Amino acid sequence: MAPVKKPFHGGDVYAASRELGRDVSELIDFSASINPLGPSPKVWRAITGARHLVPHYPDPECWDLRQALASRWRVEPARILMGNGSIELIHALPRALKIDHLLLVQPTFSEYAASMARAGGYVTTVCADRDEQYALPIDRLCRLLERPTKGSRAFDGILLCNPNSPTGQACGTDDVMKLARAVQRRGVWLIVDETFADYCPERSILPSASSWSRVVVLRSLTKFYGLPGLRVGYAVAVPTVIQQLRNELPPWSVNAMGQVAALAALHDMAHAKKSLRFVLKERTRMAKELAGLPGCTLFPAHANFLFMELPPGWHGGKLTEQLRREGLLIRDCSSVPGANRRSVRIAVRSREDNDRLLKALSRVLSEKRS
């Protein structure tokens, strides 16, 4: 098998720190979209109070955490499986469900295709249309599912990222359920990655999808709960699917601190509400400011980041490089399949950080014009 090419991701502050000779704390990372308010203060207290757990293996069942999630989603714990970030589950799914041919919407998160390549399968892609602001093409997916193109092999699965990264587009539950009904009829899998759904909870298909035998929903505690360094994600599906998926994971996927922190984060509803309010307000302000930069085009945003096209003549990679030298990391999307070369993704951060980026952007973009 050919070696799997490693996808490039945002959030690699360590590489930037080595390259720029600056401490991680001196960098402002807009390339990974993490809650700008940080984790709940209860997370810090929980981690400190759980030091005595370090000399033990973590609970392989993630019992307390699964109970908490089960009660949040009003489902049985047997419908929930924890993973070392949702990424571990993304990579286990093709083998667990024997998915050989996956249908994807581009542009999207590169790890879906990487997981298929690693499992020896392949993907077929449908491009979201830039002129439709990259809206997720649900009707096209349904049509392809009902009538695969002539000569092509039928799909075993569809992966929908909702809200989608990097475009920020999202569809409503009616659309996802339409797709879910279609996959049930055709005996195909539907995986819905809801990693960013905490920012638009009304678009999540949980808990209703938890009883659909062909649907798997992925969630993460990375973005909204601000725990990227601890690696906690989960899948929700019917118990037989959860068991299949579990068979593909090593034991003790989620370490003790990750479990304790995730539990504390889930219990702090006040911090969650405050975070959501803050991000939605700051996102609106940022979007308005960015759209006001001459020649920049903003796309509809449903998560905690903004997808933007730079003025004609610009290249996402070039701008990213220029800002990087100033310690401001944004996500270059110029080489993301299905995206325009002028595309970048910018996380919503604190007001102060956002103002710093806006100032730098406005200066760099005007330098080139003059």
Positions that interact with ligand PLP (CB under 6 A): 85-87, 109, 161, 165, 193, 195, 220, 222, 228, 233
Q: Nearest distance from residue 258's CB to ligand PLP, in Å? A: 11
Nearer to ligand PLP, 253 or 360 (CB): 253
Which residue sits closest to ligand PLP, CB atoms considered? 85
Q: How far is the CB of 131 from ligand PLP (least distance, A)?
A: 23
Copy the structure tokens of residue 252: 């003790």
Q: How far is the CB of 163 from ligand PLP (least distance, A)?
A: 8
Q: Which is nearer to ligand PLP, 85 or 226 (CB)?
A: 85
Q: How far is the CB of 83 from ligand PLP (least distance, A)?
A: 8
Residue 359 half-sphere exposure toward CB, CA atoms < 13 A = 7
Kindly state the smallest distance separating residue 112's Cβ from ligand PLP, in Å: 8
Give buried/exposed letters for 249-273 (b at 16+ CB in 10 A, else e): beeebbbbbbbbbbbbbbbbeebbe
**Nearer to ligand PLP (CB atom), residue 220 or residue 334:** 220
Residues 244 and 48: their CA atoms lie apart, in Å, by: 35
Tokens 């949702």 locate to 86
For 320-363, give the DSSP string: HHHHHTTTEE-EE-TTSTTS-TTEEEEE---HHHHHHHHHHHHH
Contact 239, 229 (CB under 8 A): no
Q: How far is CA 193 from the centre of its chain?
A: 7
Copy the structure tokens of residue 29. Answer: 């990372």
- Cβ proximity to ligand PLP, 40 vs 165, nearer residue: 165
Residue whose CB is less far from ligand PLP, 109 or 314: 109
Q: Which is nearer to ligand PLP, 258 or 314 (CB)?
A: 258
**Min dist. Cβ of residue 90 to ligand PLP (A):** 6
Q: Cβ 275 to ligand PLP, closest distance in Å?
A: 17
- DSSP string for 7-61: PP-S--HHHHHHHHT--GGG-EE-SS---TT-S-HHHHHHHHHTGGGTTS---TT
Are 258 and 227 within 8 A, CB to CB? yes
Q: Which is nearer to ligand PLP, 195 or 365 (CB)?
A: 195
